[in-house]
Amino acid sequence: MPRGVNQKMKLLYLLKILSENTDEAHPLSTQELIARLSSYGIPAERKSIYDDIECLNNFGYDIVYVKAHKGGGYYMAGREFELPELKLLVDAVQASRFITLKKSRQLISKIEKLAGPYEGKQLQRQVFVAGRVKTENESIYYNVDMIHNAIQDNAPITFTYLVWNMKRELVPRHHGKRYHVSPWALTWKDENYYLVAYDDREEKIKHFRVDKMSRIKEQEGEVRKGAESFERFDIAEYANRTFGMFGGETETVTLRLPESMIGIVLDRFGREISIRKLEEGVAGVKIRVAVSMQFYGWLTGLGREVCILTPEYVKKGYADYLGEIIRNYS
């Protein structure tokens, strides 16, 4: 490569060297920078290094000179992400069931590159992906992209929905029947990604696990339905009242429970719930919930001190649920 072209590339290579090879604990001296530039076929002198670093700092990069016992050096100080922030991103990828094992490792590798080489190694030592429950649907990113495009295009989609069979295989539900819905939102709940959509045939809002969706197709030329239903739709409230994202009739349920357990209900339903004192040490709380077996299971986990006061049909449904469990052990 001609010398003139090399000199034009020098700033870029210098930035690359500082970004990929330095941090506060590992600066590079001027001589080391000259040597590394030389390995790329770019000659440099001490004075030109000073001028180039000043130029990069003037442009907005934070390159710091640090004095040391055995000579000073330069390092890249102002990175886009701090190490704790990158750790949060890595933890989110590790915990995400809908991201496959292969894709998790690819994403974490990219996140590590946002740190310096030495901090990247610190992240590597804290990564534990193998052994976690992960989806096996490698088309998850294609699914998310297709859904986002359909929402942007204001178009409905069709897809097949997958379920597990006895052979531990994901197979199409209802013999490969194609679902036709209007997509409105994507939401995260219980370590999974869900599509929230309007089913115009049943005229109701439904949700679907994105990693269980297959062969998604945008219906070009058609327009989404359900806009009126979503005008007042609160997706956070919907997710809170839908246990395990299993649907059911939404009802206002009053619970009786010890005051010491109020925090459990607040954590699950938020601070907007109604709370009143029934007697010393006992509270009554009103919650909006999708009544389902999953809701009854959650109640059972809270123990015998928690009971349903109203409505009567939900109270009876819970008693029937408990009765069926007892009969299984009779």
Kindly report the pTM of this predicted structure.
Answer: 0.60
Is CATH 3.40.190.10 correct for 3-76? no
> Which amino acid is present at 253?
V
Among 16, 34, 35, 18, smallest CA distance to 26 is for: 18
For residue 228, which amino acid is it?
Answer: E
Over residues 282-299, the mean pLDDT reads 91
Looking at the chain, list the stretches that DSSP marks H as alpha helix, in order from N- to C-terminal side.
Answer: 3-21, 30-39, 46-59, 83-95, 101-113, 117-124, 140-152, 227-231, 235-241, 262-269, 293-302, 312-328
Residue given tokens 């992400």 in the structure block = 81
Distance of alpha carbon 307 from alpha carbon 299, whole angstroms:
8
Among 139-143, 150-154, 161-165, 189-193, where is mean pLDDT lowest? Answer: 189-193
Q: How far apart are CA 94 and CA 101, in angstroms?
A: 9
CA dihedral in degrees (84, 89, 95, 101; nearest 10)?
Answer: -120
| Per-residue pLDDT at 127 exceeds 60 | no
Quote the CA–CA distance of 18 and 283 in Å, as a whole number: 60
Domain ranges of the chain: 3-76, 83-124, 140-233, 245-328
With a pLDDT cut of 90, the percent of the chain lying above it is 43
Q: How far apart are CA 201 and CA 174, in angstroms?
A: 17
| Among 99-103, 215-219, 307-311, the least confident range | 99-103
CATH fold for domain 245-328: Alpha-Beta Plaits (3.30.70)
How far apart CA 37 and CA 197 sit, in angstroms, is 55
Mean pLDDT of the region 226-250 = 79
Here the tokens at position 64 are: 């710091």
Q: Confidence class of residue 105 from pLDDT cuts 50, 70 and 90? A: confident
Cα–Cα distance measured from residue 115 to residue 262, given in angstroms and rounded to the nearest whole number? 42
Instruction: Identify the residue whose tokens are 């076929």.
Output: 41
Tell me which residue of 278, 303, 286, 208 sits closest to 251, measured CA to CA.
Answer: 286
The CATH T-level fold of domain 140-233 is SH3 type barrels. (2.30.30)
Instruction: Count Cα neighbours of 190 within 13 Å in the Cβ-side half-sphere.
Output: 11
Q: Are 107 and 99 in contact (CB under 8 A)?
A: yes
> Which residues partner with 159 through β-bridges?
179
